Structure 1
Amino acid sequence: MTDDAPELRASDADRERVTEVLRDALAEGRLDMEEFEERLEATYKARTYGELTPITRDLPAPGAPPAVSLNKPPAVSGSWAGRIVGGEGSSSWAVAVMSGFQRKGRWTVPKRFNSFAFWGGGEIDLREANFADGEVVINCIAIMGGMSVIVPPGVEVVMRGIGIMGGFDERDHDASPDPGAPRVIVTGFAFWGGVEVQHKVTKAESRRLKEERRQDELDRRSARHELHAARDDWHRERREQREEWRRERRERRRHGDR
């Protein structure tokens, strides 16, 4: 479509392109359902480019890059400052010998946390933890066992462990940590075992994101339903108009024959 020739007649393909922009805008939350329905109705009533252009003038074209990056929400000033509390940690070590241990939930990570696992395993979960310092060390010794260190997104992780017939591994390394987020250094030794770092959101956040995705899918389905219904109504109106024109022509011809 173009603004240079607003009087040109719009085609069905032009209307379909406009409805695609409207559907994307609804799914992204730029339009609510009432606005979507109003603009959709105007789209199928439009006959020229001049009538179609204003419908999407304030919406981005499909595939256009967003003005603000949507990959990671901007950090809220002071959001991490409230979790770097200083002082001593609430737990400074953990041991598992032919068994297991967990450190998770609300706890304070000390400047240095030491852990040891022999024929066992451990989980050190920092997602809901506070931090005694802006930089903490998690020291892991795993002998024929394994440990998992779970950190929230936005935290910088530095791996400095040594593995012999074992290894230290970080999943989904976060290359752009949040400003002011703590720095976690994972060090230690693994023999016939392993230490793994995972970046994961909390279960509550995971449920919230899952619910958002579910609601987005419902909105998209509703938008597609509205789109198809409006398109069917428009095509039905066109068929009825064509049938009416045919009847009128037949009537004119019949009266003309007389």
Structure 2
Amino acid sequence: MTDERPEKPLPELRASDADRERVVERLRDAVAEGRLDMEEFEERLEVAYTSKTYAELEPLTRDLPAPGGHPMPLAAAAPAPVPADGSWASRIGGGGVPASSSAAVAVMSSFQRKGTWTVPPRLDAVAFWGSGDLDLREANFAEREVVINCIAIMGGIQITVPPGVEVDVRGFGFMGAFDQRDTPGPVAPGAPRVVVTGLAFWGGVEVKVKPPKRPKPLGGGPKLRKEL
């Protein structure tokens, strides 16, 4: 005997973080287009971040056209990665994305922040007889401008940013240095601004510019073919 019960209706399905962020992004666009005032935006924003199902999300954009003038679909495809043209909208702010710890400390040791993490509005990084590595290439940003305050005493801190990010180095070196050897190039539209400040005493703070890492190919690549 077959189970003839109908499948769960789409509105009852649980919404993901990506679904909520997609709705929030459309609400932001609606404010910029003059379709929503700030009071309506704030009300819908609160509902969006507390919604658990599609049924709760759908009314928030029901009366808003998607970009291009077409109604916004309930279940759209997953958002694409940040494009190379510098579209940072999905990685800055968001309200519901908690910032990572506002301090990173290494005393005769080391610390590392890399991969997907959220840079807080102000991050205090301290390396005393130690080292620190802050990789911002895949990071999200709590605000469009963030401040990284570095204290390097007989230690070193390295900050890696992707091309297109605006970097402002203001730190002071006393028998030490704040070093920015690479230039980020033209600032990408909407890219975050990273202010690097602090003190280097018998130590150093270095800012590097590198493109995001490429994902490793599946299947082992050339090594696997050689073994076959």
Superposition TM-score tier, normalisation by shorter sequence: 0.5 to 0.7
Structure 1 residue 114 and structure 2 residue 124: aligned?
A: yes
Give the partner amino acid of 2:137: R
1:226-258 CA deviation, whole Å, 9 max, x = no partner? xxxxxxxxxxxxxxxxxxxxxxxxxxxxxxxxx
Question: What fraction of aligned residue pairs are identical, expressed as a percent?
Answer: 65
TM-score by length of 1: 0.49
Give the partner amino acid of 1:82: S
Which whole-Å CA distance do the structure 2 matches of 1:158 and 1:179 have between them?
A: 17
Q: Which residue matches 2:111?
A: 101
Higher alpha-carbon Rg? 1
Structure 1 residue 137 and structure 2 residue 147: aligned?
A: yes
TM-score by length of 2: 0.55
4+ long deviations beyond 4 Å? none
1:7-50 CA deviation, whole Å, 9 max, x = no partner? xxxxxxxxxxxxxxxxxxxxxxxxxxxxxxxxxxxxxxxxxxxx
Matches within 5 A, 1:23-102: 75=85, 79-87=87-95, 88-102=98-112
Superposed CA RMSD in Å reads 1.8
1:190/1:86 CA distance change after superposition, 3 Å? farther
Matches within 5 A, 1:185-204: 185-204=195-214
Gaps of 5+ in 2: 1-82, 218-228
Indicate conservation of the 8 Å contact 1:91/1:107, yes or no: no
Structure 1 residue 146 and structure 2 residue 156: aligned?
A: yes
1:74/1:89 CA distance change after superposition, 3 Å? closer
1:179-238 CA deviation, whole Å, 9 max, x = no partner? 110000000100000000000112216x79xxxxxxxxxxxxxxxxxxxxxxxxxxxxxx
Bigger fraction of residues in helix: 1
Indicate conservation of the 8 Å contact 2:93/2:144, yes or no: no
Which whole-Å CA distance do the structure 2 matches of 1:108 and 1:95 have between them?
A: 17
* CA shift for structure 1 position 92: 1.3
* CA shift for structure 1 position 122: 0.3
Which whole-Å CA distance do the structure 2 matches of 1:104 and 1:175 have between them?
A: 22
1:54-111 CA deviation, whole Å, 9 max, x = no partner? xxxxxxxxxxxxxxxxxxx9725xx201100244412211110111000111111010
Which whole-Å CA distance do the structure 1 matches of 2:115 and 2:187 have between them?
A: 22
Indicate conservation of the 8 Å contact 1:148/1:197, yes or no: yes
**2:166 paired residue among 156, 176, 191:** 156
Gaps of 5+ in 1: 1-72, 209-258
Q: What secondary structure does 1:82 align onto?
A: helix
Indicate conservation of the 8 Å contact 1:86/1:131, yes or no: no
Which whole-Å CA distance do the structure 2 matches of 1:109 and 1:149 have between them?
A: 12
Which whole-Å CA distance do the structure 1 matches of 2:169 and 2:136 have between them?
A: 16
Aligned residues: 133
